[in-house]
């Protein structure tokens, strides 16, 4: 029988898998039959009696559609795209126009940064954290280190290794800074009902973490 810590680690790794790539037919079947999103939503509850169930039976016949939705949301640029990166939500770019010889620029640096830029300080910071904990990224993985799938996987691996303090610190200083903004955007979109439910499940799962309890 698994311990609560092992179950928590498994949930993080499960969500990481869903954001890294679209679930195949066997995983969708497991999600529906075992109510995996519902279990994460109600993490820590002993019974699912009178609980909110998130899975839909017709997902079993929509694996290809979910694949297309995953690509539209997290891979391909476009109007449906929702960037899954910490740097997009947390980093800013400050433009120094004080030396620009043009009437169109202010004589002093812009007082606020521009958001929505990838591969900023967050990307390099999380990479250093990974390295310090011996968390290696697969050589076949070619995305940024602050991708939501990477950060969720890191959380899961830390719990697997019993590094609870490291996981909590990373949640407080990295993943927790932006994940709820990302999930809010994912819940608002109407491109994918499947990933709306994934967002709802992950949001409620994360709220069981002590660092978000006040």
Spatial distance between the Cα atoms of 128 and 18, rounded to a whole number of angstroms? 24
Confirm if 145 and 168 have CB atoms less than 8 A apart: no
pLDDT of residue 45: 77
Give the model confidence (pLDDT) of 104-122 as tens digits. Answer: 445 554 445 556 677 789 9
Which of these CATH numbers, 3.20.20.80, 1.10.3480.10, 3.40.50.80, 1.10.10.10, describes 4-86+118-212?
Answer: 1.10.3480.10
pLDDT of residue 1: 74
Residue 44 pLDDT exceeds 70: yes
Give the model confidence (pLDDT) of 152-195 as tens digits. Answer: 999 999 999 999 999 999 999 999 999 999 999 999 999 999 99
Parse the chain into domains and list their residue ranges: 4-86+118-212
- Exposure of 51 in the CB half-sphere (CA atoms within 13 A): 19
Q: Give the residue, 94 or 15, on which the prediction is more confident.
A: 15
Predicted TM-score (pTM) of the model is: 0.87
Polymer length of the chain: 214
């Amino acid at each position: 029988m698994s311990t609560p810590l092992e179950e928590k680690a498994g949930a993080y790794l499960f969500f990481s898998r869903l954001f890294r790539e679209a679930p195949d037919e066997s995983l969708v079947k497991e999600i529906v039959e075992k109510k995996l999103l519902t279990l994460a939503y109600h993490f820590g509850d002993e019974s699912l009696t009178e609980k909110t169930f998130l899975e839909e039976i017709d997902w079993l016949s929509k694996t290809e559609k979910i694949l297309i939705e995953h690509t539209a949301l997290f891979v391909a640029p476009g109007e449906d795209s929702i960037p899954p990166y910490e740097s997009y939500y947390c980093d800013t770019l400050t433009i120094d126009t004080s030396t620009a010889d043009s009437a169109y620029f202010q004589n002093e640096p812009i007082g606020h940064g521009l958001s929505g830029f990838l591969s900023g300080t967050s990307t390099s910071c999380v990479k250093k954290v990974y390295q310090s904990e011996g968390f290696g990224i697969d050589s076949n993985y070619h995305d940024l280190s602050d991708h939501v799938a990477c950060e969720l996987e890191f959380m899961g691996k830390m719990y697997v290794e019993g590094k609870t303090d490291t996981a909590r610190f990373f949640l407080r200083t990295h993943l927790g800074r932006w994940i709820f903004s990302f999930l809010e955007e994912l819940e608002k979109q109407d491109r994918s009902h499947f990933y709306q439910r994934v967002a709802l499940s992950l949001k409620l799962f994360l709220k069981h973490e002590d660092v978000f309890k006040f």
